[in-house]
Amino acid sequence: MDLAAFRALEPLCWRAPSAHNTQPWRLRYEPGAIHVGWHPAHTLPAADPTGRDLRLSLGAFVETCLIVAADAGLRLEYVADHDERHHRVGRLRPAWCRYPTPFRTTDVWERRTDRGHFAGGPARDTLAAVDAVARQTGGGVRAVPYPDRLGALLRAADRRLYADPAVVAELRRWLRLDPTHPDYHTDGLNDHCLALSRTTATGLRAALAAYPVLRPLGLPRLLAAADDPLARGGAVLVLVGPADLDRPGQVEFGRVLLRVWLALHTTGLAAHPLSQLIDIATTRTALGALLDVAPDRLLHVARVGRPTRPAPRSARRLG
C-alpha cells in the first residue's frame, strides 16, 4: 500500500473528537509507516493533568484513521508503540487486509457531540450493544442507576473546576465565544457548539474576563449553577475500563470510545461528555460508589440520548 494515498484522507480523519477540541494528534510520514503522535501545545495540563483525555482522544483519532482508510479501500493497521518522551502513541502501517469495521466515513463525518436537548435515552438493546463493544477489550458501558443523585455531583464537580484558576485559564484559552475570534473556525469550543445563546456567551466571556476579581465573590458557584445539562434529558453512561489500565491501554480505550460513539450515532443517538464528574476526585469516588466500580476504572462519562435537532458541526484545523 502506498502510504502517501492516506494523505488525501487526512481532513476526514481530523473529524475525530478531542477534549476541548484541541485536536492534539500529529502524523509523521516515514518509509513504511505513519507515526501517530501529539503536540504538547495541544494538551490540557490543568484540566487533564494525568493525560487520560489526551490518550482517549488519540485513540479515537487512531480508530478514525483506520475506519476512513478501510472505507477508501486502503489496507492499514495500527501498532502501539508508546513513547512519552517523543510524544508518540504508535504507528499506522500497511496491512494484509482492510481494517474490519462496521463503520463508514459518513459516520465519522456526521457524528457530533450534542449538548442540546434529548428526547429520550438509549433503549435497553442499544445499551447492551455498546456494552458488548467495550467488553471485547475487557471494559464495559454502564448506565448510572441513580440519575437523581447526579445533579448534585455535577454541580460539585463544576464548582471545583471553576474554583481552579489554572483550569479556568486553560478553558479560556480554548473557548471561542465570539465569532470574531481568530481561531473560531479552527479549533476549541465555540458558543454554537456549547449551545450558548449570544447573551449567555457574552455574559460568560465577561464573567471569565473578570474571574480574578469575581472568584473570591462566589463566581465558581454561580457558574456551576448556571447550567444543568441533566435537565436536557438522556441517560448518563460510563465507559469502564479494566483495573490498572496503563497508558497504551488508555489509547486503546480511546478507540473503544469512538466505536461506542459511532455505534450510538448509527442508532440515531448522540453523546454529551461530562468529564468533570471523573476529573474531580470526590465526585469520581461518589460515581464509582453508585456503580459499584473502583473509581480508577472510570474512563469516560457522557449524557446520551436522541437529539431533538441536529447539533452544530465543530471547528477543525485543516492541516
Ligand X SMILES: Cc1cc2nc3c(=O)[nH]c(=O)nc-3n(C[C@H](O)[C@H](O)[C@H](O)COP(=O)(O)O)c2cc1C
Binding site for ligand X (CB under 6 A): 17-21, 53, 56-57, 60, 112-113, 115, 189, 273-276, 314
If the CB atoms of residues 10 and 93 are measured against ligand X, the closer one turns out to be 10
C-alpha cell at 135: 467488553
CB of 189 to ligand X, least distance (A): 6
Q: What is the largest CA-CA distance in the chain?
A: 62
| Strand-by-strand arrangement of the 298-305 sheet | 140-143, 235-240, 298-305, 270-273
If the CB atoms of residues 75 and 82 are measured against ligand X, the closer one turns out to be 82
CB of 114 to ligand X, least distance (A): 8
If the CB atoms of residues 126 and 314 are measured against ligand X, the closer one turns out to be 314
If the CB atoms of residues 60 and 89 are measured against ligand X, the closer one turns out to be 60
CB of 192 to ligand X, least distance (A): 11
If the CB atoms of residues 127 and 256 are measured against ligand X, the closer one turns out to be 256
If the CB atoms of residues 43 and 314 are measured against ligand X, the closer one turns out to be 314
Report the C-alpha gap between 317 and 280 in whole angstroms.
Answer: 30
If the CB atoms of residues 18 and 43 are measured against ligand X, the closer one turns out to be 18
Closest Cα partner for 58 from 244, 261, 260, 252? Answer: 252
CB of 51 to ligand X, least distance (A): 11
If the CB atoms of residues 43 and 276 are measured against ligand X, the closer one turns out to be 276
User: Do 274 and 229 contact (CB within 8 A), yes or no?
Assistant: yes
CB of 93 to ligand X, least distance (A): 24
User: Do 88 and 82 contact (CB within 8 A), yes or no?
Assistant: yes
CB of 47 to ligand X, least distance (A): 9
Alpha carbon distance, N-terminus to C-terminus of the chain: 23
Question: Which residues have a Cβ under 8 Å from the Cβ of 166 and sit 6 or more positions away?
Answer: 46
CB of 314 to ligand X, least distance (A): 3
CB of 113 to ligand X, least distance (A): 3
With CB atoms as reference, the residue minimizing the distance to ligand X is: 17
